[in-house]
Amino acid sequence: MPTRATELLRVVHARPGVTRADAARLIGVGTGATTELVGRLGQAELLAEGPTAPSGARGRPTTALIPHPRGPLIAAASITHESWRVDVVELGGSILATAGEELAGRGGDEVVAALGAAVRRLRHEYGDRIRGIGIAVPGTVSRDLMLDASNLGWHDVDLAAAWPRAEIFVAGNDATLAASAESRRGMAVGAAVALHLRIEAGLGGAVVDGGKVLIGALGAAGEFGHMPFGDPAVRCPCGAYGCWGTAVDGSALARLLGHEPPRDLITYARRIITSPEPEPAAAAATVATALGRGIAGLVNGLDADLVTLGGLGVDLLAAAPEQLLTAYEAGLMSFRRAAPPPVVPALLGDDGPIAGAAEEAWTALLTRLV
């Protein structure tokens, strides 16, 4: 059972800049009790108060609850098919520092080592204020923090090597963490059942039910790209045939255009999708149609009331909205067509996975602070 102090910290994290009066209402206590809590948390260097933005109204100025300038921090990291990045994140989600670089063809262990070196530099700069780390990755993560990223050819990569004795260490699939972030700070705030889909080199996603991400029995739920919605003659890097991800990513565009599989599927796909030439446009329309039909199947099965798209899904929706949405609505059960669940770009965009990693790490930390 969370304490009132923990509840107050959660409110400030979710709504940075909230006034003391609003915070009191949200945690269900009087203003006097909230004043006492704020004082205690200030002495513990967890919260501070600062001026709110000018409102133009007369009267005594109100103050906002903000992170303490010497308060705890989280390192949030993401590894994509192209690069890695690590941010220092304070209570409320603001980023204080960042580092990163391109993968440049390096293997998984080398990338984790480089990320770990950056974390050590940031810990040297910020000292013991950095209390833990969250990492978003383009693959599946086992309970002992081993990464398998088949599209990168990485297997049994030890993520824990980035910070071997971290007080808090959480790691997860990038699409799953992006879904978590969208439900807390993005387009899916308030949705009953939100479906998030993210396309990079393949497709992943997650279902968020009432604000809770459904991770499955082994923590590997959301591998929607491996549902058999694609061409059964096409073999996926995972070993299966007909995976949906192979019908909607850069490899699908290359096959449609008769091109050799590109080394960088994401950059290639973005170039094709945004091309004004007729052949690339037709290929993008075909892939958008395949995406729309698959979304319909998932909405029918999951009863989602909102679909958010990340990664190349945003590009496809922008380039071929008619083809994507027509295929989507045609695939819906008839009772859903009068008011089909919206399909919209994710608000957090490419920052969704790293924002989700920060959220999960902060969630773990907040239970330990008071």
d(CA 120, CA 6): 29
4-66 and 73-178+352-366: identical CATH topology: no
Return the pLDDT at 51.
Answer: 82
- Three-state SS sequence of 169-200: EEEEEHHHHHHHHHHHHCCCCCCCEEEEEEEE
Fold classification of 4-66 (topology level): Arc Repressor Mutant, subunit A (1.10.10)
- What is the reported pLDDT for 58? 58
Pick the CATH number of 73-178+352-366 from 1.10.645.10, 3.30.420.40, 3.40.50.300, 2.40.50.220: 3.30.420.40
Tokens 């007080």 -> residue: 167
Fold classification of 187-346 is: Nucleotidyltransferase; domain 5 (3.30.420)
Extract the tokens encoding 316. 């496809």
For 36-76, the pLDDT digits (tens) are 999 999 999 999 998 876 555 555 557 899 999 999 999 99
CB 309 within 8 A of CB 344: yes
Residues 138-187 pLDDT 10s? 988 888 999 998 878 899 999 999 999 999 999 999 999 999 999 999 99
Q: Give, for 91, the enclosing helix (H) or strand (E).
A: none
Long-range contacts of 226-235 (CB under 8 A, 24+ apart): 227/294, 227/297, 229/290, 229/293, 229/294, 229/297, 230/290
Per-residue pLDDT reduced to its tens digit, 228-258: 999 999 999 888 999 999 999 999 999 999 9
pLDDT for residue 60? 58
Percentage of the chain lying above the pLDDT 70 cut:
97
Domain ranges for the chain: 4-66, 73-178+352-366, 187-346
Please report which confidence band the pLDDT of residue 220 belongs to, taking 50, 70 and 90 as the band edges.
confident
Token duo for residue 2: 């969370």
Mean predicted lDDT score pLDDT of the chain? 92
Q: What percentage of the chain has pLDDT greater than the value 90? A: 79
| C-alpha 30, offset from chain centre | 35
Crossing angle of the two packed helices 278-302 and 250-257, in degrees rounded to 10: 140
User: What whole-number distance in Å separates Cα of residue 75 and Cα of residue 135?
Assistant: 9
